[in-house]
């Protein structure tokens, strides 16, 4: 009997984990009239309000789908930011804006700035605890959260980008945090890798989804917009948009 109980308990535990994973990756945010959507991140986000930036593309697509809803998009990206920087400016940058939904797109600088000697990046434990603190405070303010994994530092597809190993480790943390905190997940790392496998046969380090290995090209902005819009249940619109005003 004890063996049977243990087995059943294990099965229930696994089902619970799988249900959380499904919530984090497959469910859709239910938008409402008057929603305020904040995009919280680093320079990748800061530059996304230009005409072809992913925030402008999302704004245009959401407004095309819900023209009378009065939905507002707010760019809260800041160059050079890491998780600790988001923690420091969370109140002013996000919570004071009374958001309904917050996209968090962070991690590239946490990985890319790391050196064991200078210690200017973010250790894995601080990255995880920082994400959990940010998410907890946003949820406590009654806003929904979409956590995005970092995307790429270098576009080579053979695993030889300098930070590939660390990127995989930090993306795994983001996925786990999304599951444990029961928030929506956009797996940009997977989306970028899948795209590059299909479109980077020459194993280029940059120039396909990014202009410099990190910051997004038009194709990169389109891909990020498509992935974020999936969580909103909205298709990417093709109508040109005006730049987003900060």
Q: What CATH number is given to the structural domain containing 194?
A: 3.40.50.1110
Asked if residue 244 belongs to a domain, the reply is no
Residue 144 three-state SS: strand
pLDDT tens sequence for the chain (246 residues): 333 434 444 444 444 343 344 444 446 898 999 999 999 999 999 999 898 999 999 999 999 999 999 999 999 999 999 999 999 999 999 999 999 999 999 999 999 988 655 667 899 999 999 999 999 999 999 999 999 999 999 999 999 999 999 999 999 999 999 999 999 999 999 999 999 999 999 999 999 999 999 999 999 999 999 999 999 999 998 754 444 334
What does pTM read for this prediction? 0.86
Instruction: Quote the pLDDT of residue 28.
Output: 85
Instruction: With respect to residue 190, please indicate whether it lies within any of the assigned structural domains.
Output: yes
Give the domain range for residue 60: 2-232
User: How many independent structural domains does the chain possess?
Assistant: 1
CA 245, CA 217: separation in Å to the nearest integer?
A: 20
Q: CA 24 to CA 244: how far, in whole Å? A: 28
* Distance separating alpha carbons of residues 34 and 69, to the nearest angstrom: 6
């Amino acid at each position: 009997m004890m063996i049977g109980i243990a087995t059943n308990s294990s099965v229930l535990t696994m089902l619970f984990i799988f249900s959380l994973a499904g919530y984090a990756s497959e469910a859709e945010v239910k938008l409402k009239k008057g929603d305020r959507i904040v995009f919280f991140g680093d320079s990748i986000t800061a530059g996304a309000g230009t005409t072809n930036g992913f925030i402008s593309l999302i704004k245009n697509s959401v407004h095309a789908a819900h023209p009378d809803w009065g939905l507002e998009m707010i760019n809260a990206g800041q160059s050079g930011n890491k998780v600790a920087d988001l923690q420091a400016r969370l109140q002013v940058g996000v919570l004071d804006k009374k958001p309904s939904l917050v996209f968090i797109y962070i991690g590239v600088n946490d990985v890319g700035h790391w050196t064991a000697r200078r210690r200017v990046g973010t250790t894995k434990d601080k990255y995880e605890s920082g994400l959990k603190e940010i998410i907890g405070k946003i949820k406590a303010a009654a806003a929904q959260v979409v956590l995005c994994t970092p995307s790429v530092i270098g576009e080579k597809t053979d695993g030889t980008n300098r930070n590939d190993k660390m990127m995989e480790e930090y993306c795994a943390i983001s996925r786990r945090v999304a599951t444990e905190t029961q928030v929506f997940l956009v797996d940009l790392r997977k989306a970028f890798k899948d795209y590059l496998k299909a479109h980077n046969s020459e194993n280029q380090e940059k120039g396909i989804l990014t202009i410099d290995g990190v910051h997004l090209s038009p194709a990169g902005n389109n891909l990020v917009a498509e992935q974020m819009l999936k969580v909103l249940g909205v298709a990417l619109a093709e109508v040109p948009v005006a730049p987003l005003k900060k």
